Chain A
């Protein structure tokens, strides 16, 4: 069975502080990991995916197969980063994408 775990429901930080949103996965095959974000009153959208190894809006995420983790990091949080963040596992053979329970990030001024 595959599972995506996001242990924090809510993460509050002050503007300018570093932020790390945790994601652990369980999958016996080769995983494709994603971070999706949902800003207030907007649709769910892709933030970044592990295979691209990009930095989007200052966020990065590294796939650690040994720890089965894909934590999302940003060195200096901004108020506009406040949103709901979902970690997702893609299983392409079956066109399946599974989402973690989500972490609400609140960046305080």
Chain B
């Protein structure tokens, strides 16, 4: 299995909702990432987990809360988001010195 799987593919939520994005990989990669991509913009790094520990938080607002329950799973918990948080959220994984493998993304719309 050489894929990164993200669910859901689409999510619409209100500003008071709590939702989660999920990411799964079974390639044995020890680094996992969340990126945010706005339309016609490059992916922006949000969080990096290395060996299930948060190693990088790129000054992301606390309304985004990552979680890595095990080496194959990565979650992004969403709470009290703003409309400007609407974007494509990409999960990726890598060996520590290797290429990034991306999921197809979860398209989030905040109303």
Chain A residues proximal to chain B, CB less than 8 Å: 32, 34, 36, 43-46, 49, 86, 88, 92, 94-102
A107 to B67, CA, bound (A): 42
Chain B residues proximal to chain A, CB less than 8 Å: 31, 33, 41-45, 48, 50, 55-56, 90, 94, 96-97, 99-100, 102-105
Does the CB pair A100–B42 fall under 8 Å?
yes
Does the CB pair A101–B97 fall under 8 Å?
no
Q: Which of B33, B42, B50, B94 is in CB contact (< 8 Å) with A102? A: B42
With a cutoff of 8 Å between Cβ atoms, the chain A residues found around residue B41 in the complex are 101-102
A44 to B43, CA, bound (A): 10
Q: Taking the nearest CB of chain B, how far is it from the CB of A71, in angstroms?
A: 17
Q: A46-B100, A96-B56 given. 10 additional CB < 8 A pairs?
A: A43-B102, A43-B103, A44-B102, A92-B96, A94-B48, A95-B33, A95-B56, A97-B100, A98-B45, A102-B42
A43 to B48, CA, bound (A): 19
| Minimal Cβ-Cβ distance residue in B for A47 | B99
Given the known interface contacts A95-B55, A96-B56, A101-B42, the answer about A44 and B96 at a Cβ–Cβ threshold of 8 Å is no
Q: Which of B42, B45, B94, B104 is in CB contact (< 8 Å) with A86? A: B42
| Minimal Cβ-Cβ distance residue in B for A52 | B99
A86 to B55, CA, bound (A): 24
Q: Which of B44, B97, B103 is in CB contact (< 8 Å) with A92? A: B97
Given the known interface contacts A43-B102, A44-B90, the answer about A95 and B48 at a Cβ–Cβ threshold of 8 Å is yes
A86 to B35, CA, bound (A): 14
